[in-house]
Each structure stands twice: as C-alpha cells, then as structure tokens.
Structure 1
Amino acid sequence: MGGMAGLEGMEQPQQRTGTAAVRRLPSAEEDPALRALELFGNPADKEVRLPSRPESAATARRLTEFVVLRDWGLPCQLAEYAVLLVSELVGNAVRHTGARSFGLRMLRRRGWVRVEVRDPSRGLPCLLPVGALDTSGRGLMLVDQLSQRWGVDLLPCGKTTWFEMRVTESS
C-alpha cells in the first residue's frame, strides 16, 4: 500500500454527510474493524491474542461486531448484545488478572454463537453473583441477562470465561 492513503479528496470541505457520493469498500486504514483484523487476526478462525490494556476492549468489540455482522451475517441486535458482553468479559480480564495478554475466540454452530475470553488467572472472585448496588459486578448481571448461557472453565493455567447466545436460523 502507498503512503498516500486517506489523502485523496483532501480539497473538499471536511463536513460529513450521511451518504457518500461514491460507495466503495473502506480500506483497512479507514475501517477500524479491518485494521484490527489485519493486526490481530480473525477470532472466528482461531484464538486471537490481545494485549491486556483497557483499549483492547475497543479492539475486541470491533472484532466481535465484524464477525457477527459481516462474517456470519447475523442480526444487528445480536451483534449489539455480543459487543456489549465481550466488553464486560474483556474488562474483567484486563482489570483483574494482571496478565500481559488475553485470548478472544468466537465459535458458530447451528442455532448458537459462543464467545470465549481466555486469561492466565484462575481467580474467580469477580464472577460471583453480586448485589444490585455493587457496580463492579454489574457487568456479569448483564451477561446473565443478555446471554442464554455463560460460564467459566478452569484450565491448567488460567480460565476461559464464555457466553453463548441463541440464533434464530432463518432457513
């Protein structure tokens, strides 16, 4: 790719209108989801590793939305919930484990999608049920409400926190 990406059309005024005159697919430079895919890979193909930093929540959201909407062609509502929930799981992994990175994996089978976040800590306190006033645990109440199933699998080193959402198959 040339270094001139994003410079074509600089002479136009910079106001954003709702519809572009010419529809073309955005390049990776312009599309944060494509840039995230380029950098980290597609979590629907294999587990991707993301750095354990707060800004990785945004990366995980972009990847999740990309897979659910564009790869799998599933409804916007489902993508919206999946993005919300992946944010919570990533937030937990980043805040509570002190690890350098975590893994994100997305699986699709008939009638279901599954999203997994794997981290090297076996600590579970952040996943215990909490009172409605305990804001730090609010996210897992959300996961409980918006997913059909969720859980934590302890691994020899670490754990996988996952949720599954039902998909109404169109066919």
Structure 2
Amino acid sequence: MAGLEGYERPRRHTGATAARWSPAVEDEHALKALELFGNPTDAEVPLPSRPESAAIARRLAQVVVLRHWGLSPKLTEDVVLLVSELVGNAVRHTGARVFGLRMERRRGWIRVEVRDPSRGLPCLMPVHEMDLSGRGLFLVDKLSDRWGVDLLPRGKTTWFEMRAADR
C-alpha cells in the first residue's frame, strides 16, 4: 500500500470507554522492568515478540508516564491500555522475533511508538458490540488524539499521540 507513509487519523472525540486499570503508587514490577529492559524515553527498548512482553511494555509505560513525567493516573491508564493494544498487534500479526518500544514527551504532547519489521499495515475495522477481538486499533482511534503508521525501509512504526498538560 504505497503512499500511506506518514498516514495519520485525527481523533474524533466520542465517549468511548475502556476497562479500568488503576496504577499502584509503588509498583516494584514497573521499576524492575525499567531496570532490566531500559528506559523507552532514552532509546528504543527491544522486546521479544511474545505475549508476556505486553506486560513488560505496560509496566514501562506506567513508570514513565506516572513517575518520570508525573502525569495523571487517568492519562497513565489510557497510555498503558493503548501500549498493550499496539504491542498485542505487533506480537500477533507481524511474525517478528523482536519489536521496539519508544516514548517521548514534548510540550503538551506524549508520543508512543511500536516498531516492528513487518511492512503489513494495521487495519482499523468496524467493531460490533459482541466482537471478542479486533478492538485494538478501535481503542487507539478513540482514546488517542492522533495515531498513524510510518513505513520504514525495513518494517513500520505504529504510533499514537495524546495531549498532556504541562506542569
């Protein structure tokens, strides 16, 4: 699908809700993940393409957003959910052995990227109430302010951005 480099979908503000997640004030698992795998704000963190890597990515996102950046628990909850969805897609649909997680913050915004070696583009599908799967990009579309896919010479980066109040 040539020509979709830099493709992004603007957020349509709706009342989408997701399952609630509550960050612990002291999450030693998150701090341990940061120590073991590295900080995704310093450099891309490579993770093995296995289902259990979603938990690692969630913990890294939690510790970065809540502790390092000092942002709200609600924003942390949403970022953690969306990281889990992008990682799940990378693990399930790309056939990759490794994927990368990167996070950055700039004035008023945060950006999360998941890079994998597949050039297959994710597809936003219509979601119906009784669907048991296929809701990942639907949630990314509803909860993020912007998201998109950047094709790379070897793979792609799927990303989302969210507004974040500066303190």
Q: Give the TM bin, normalised by the shorter chain.
A: 0.7 to 0.9
Shift of 1:168: 2.0
How many equivalent residue pairs?
A: 141
**SS at 1:122's partner residue?**
coil
Matches within 5 A, 1:67-146: 67-124=64-121, 127-133=122-128, 135-146=132-143
Q: Does 1:164 align with 2:161?
A: yes
CA displacement 1:71-121 (0-9 Å, x = unmatched): 000111110000000000000000011111100000000000000000000
Identical columns (%): 73
Unpaired runs of 5+ residues, structure 2, are: 1-25
- Structure 2 counterpart of 1:96, one-letter code: H
Partner of 2:48: 51
Shift of 1:139: 1.1
User: Distance between the aligned counterparts of 2:126 and 2:70, measured in 1?
Assistant: 37
- Structure 2 counterpart of 1:118, one-letter code: R
TM-score normalised to structure 2 length = 0.80
TM-score normalised to structure 1 length = 0.78
Shift of 1:137: 2.4
User: Distance between the aligned counterparts of 1:161 and 1:129, measured in 2?
Assistant: 12
Structure 1 residue corresponding to 2:148, chosen from 148, 151, 161: 151
**SS at 2:135's partner residue?**
helix
User: Comparing both chains, which one has the higher relative contact order based on Cα–Cα distances under 8 Å and sequence gaps of 6 or more?
Assistant: 2
Moved over 4 A (4+): none
Shift of 1:135: 4.3
- Structure 1 counterpart of 2:32, one-letter code: R
Q: Does 1:42 align with 2:39?
A: yes
